Amino acid sequence: MSTRTFFVVAVLALLLAAPAAASERHPTLAELSHEVMCPTCKQLLELSHAPVADRIRAFIKTRIAAGDTKSEIKQRLVSEFGEAVLASPPRRGFDLLAWLLPLLGLAASATVVAAIVWRWRAGSAAAPDGEPADPELARRLDEELALLDA
Amino acid sequence: MLQALALSGVGLLLALLGVQVFSGGSGRGLDAALAAGKTAAAPDFSLPRLNGEGTLRLRSLRGHPVVLNFWASWCIPCKQEAGLLESAAKSYRADGLVVLGVDAQDFRSDARRFAKRYGLTYPIVRDGSGSTLAHYGGTGFPETWFLDRRGNVVGEHVKGALTRERLARNIANVLAR
């Protein structure tokens, strides 16, 4: 990697990391409203009008005013309502499957596609150039082309 | 090879779905048994007490009829029935009846304030995630079940606020068993 490429990658990484760090230190209610679930209606907080959702919004506002980070607020909510209050499942235990299954599905799909392409190419290579794969088909094709020429 | 892999994957997914579906089946079984006029074993649980003094296991109340009431501080009908439950807890204490409150999907501090405001002296445990309520098949607040001395759910599953008559009728039913 050249010095210039390294510099560009480093600047891009910093540009992407800065908003994430700011969001962690100074979260907003709007941000947390789509990262937290309403425990009774199982909807995102931003979509819920349940009484407990109103109470959670008030709690988040209070904690933001108190200077809590996003992680601290989420941790407090988890201690009250359990991990199901988070919109994204934690990356451990049974919930890890929610993260792993899409990746496994992607890997399995890629394997199947690669296998199909490999078979198709192997099949194409088996028929030598210049010789028809099916003599009957070639005969019928010649006949129909001859009809068109006529 | 590929087919075997795909079949294994589908099998694994179906097994996981089965576990998820059937792990939440106790509640439906309870309601079906009650609708048929039968009894069903109340799902056991061990939950932290709201006052912070350790945990309480439902099984430890065997030998006592139990009024199991799920509530939350933000629930308006829960406020209406709180006084009735406290009154019943005091009136039937000598008969061995235990009113057990389960505060679910609620902030701990709000629940403590609620208990203090309505003068609740009966034991209250916390089910913050609502998983115990779900295990019983509860879908709203308040919901009440009545357990006999052997830990079986009997009588009515009351969805919504209790009335004095309904509470008295079901308490008489569990005490008579």
Domain contains A2: no
Domain contains B112: yes
**pLDDT over 70 for what percent of chain B?**
84
Domains in chain A, number: 2
In 10 A of CB A26, how many CB atoms?
A: 12
In 10 A of CB B131, how many CB atoms?
A: 15
Partner-chain residue, chosen from B75, B129, B141, that has the shortest CB–CB distance to A82:
B129
Domain contains B3: no
Domain contains B141: yes
Chain B residue closest to A40 (CA)? B105
Residues pairing with B56 in the sheet: B47
Q: Among A47, A68, A88, identify where a domain stops.
A: A88
A44 three-class SS: strand
- In angstroms, the CA B50 to CA A19 distance is 40
ipTM of the complex: 0.79
Domain contains A125: yes
Q: Does residue A102 sit in the same domain as residue A72?
A: no
> Whole-number mean pLDDT of chain A?
84
- In which domain, by residue range, is A42 found? 26-88
Partner-chain residue, chosen from A40, A83, A104, that has the shortest CB–CB distance to B105:
A40
For A76-133, what is each residue's pLDDT tens digit?
999 999 999 999 876 666 666 776 787 888 888 888 898 888 888 887 766 566 666 7
Q: pLDDT at position A93, please? A: 67
Domain contains B32: yes
Q: Which residue has the higher pLDDT, A147 or A69?
A: A69
Chain B residue closest to A109 (CA)? B6
Q: pLDDT at position B168, please? A: 97
- In angstroms, the CA B29 to CA B21 distance is 13
For A26-40, what is each residue's pLDDT tens digit?
899 999 999 999 999
Domain contains A17: no
For B83-122, what is each residue's pLDDT tens digit?
999 999 999 999 999 999 999 999 999 999 999 999 999 9
Inter-chain touch B131–A82, beta carbons under 8 Å: yes
Q: pLDDT at position A119, please? A: 85
Residues pairing with B154 in the sheet: B146
Domains in chain B, number: 1
Q: Which of A38, A40, A109 should be substituted to probe chain B, the one whose Cβ sees the most B Cβ atoms within 10 Å?
A: A40
Inter-chain touch B75–A104, beta carbons under 8 Å: no
Residue numbers in B near A111 (CB within 8 A): 2, 5
Q: Does residue A106 sit in the same domain as residue A68?
A: no
Q: pLDDT at position A131, please? A: 64
Highest mean pLDDT among A102-106, B14-18, B58-62: B58-62
- In angstroms, the CA B136 to CA B31 distance is 9
DSSP of A48-90: ---HHHHHHHHHHHHHHHTT--HHHHHHHHHHHH-GGGBSSPP
Q: Is the C-alpha dihedral spanning A104, A107, A113, A116 positive or negative?
A: negative
Q: Among A53, A68, A88, identify where a domain stops.
A: A88
Beta strands in chain B (DSSP E): 40-41, 46-48, 55-57, 66-71, 98-104, 124-127, 143-147, 152-159
Domain contains A1: no
How far is C-alpha A2 from the geometric centre of its chain's CA atoms? 31
Partner-chain residue, chosen from B74, B129, B130, that has the shortest CB–CB distance to A51:
B74
Inter-chain touch A55–B107, beta carbons under 8 Å: yes
Given the structure tokens 């829960």, which residue do they identify? B78
Q: Does residue A77 sit in the same domain as residue A43?
A: yes
> Whole-number mean pLDDT of chain B?
90
- The CATH number that applies at residue B114 is 3.40.30.10
Inter-chain CB pairs, A–B, below 8 Å: 44
- In angstroms, the CA B99 to CA B174 distance is 12
- In which domain, by residue range, is B67 found? 26-176
- The CATH number that applies at residue A55 is 1.10.8.640
Domain contains B17: no
A19 pLDDT more than 80: no
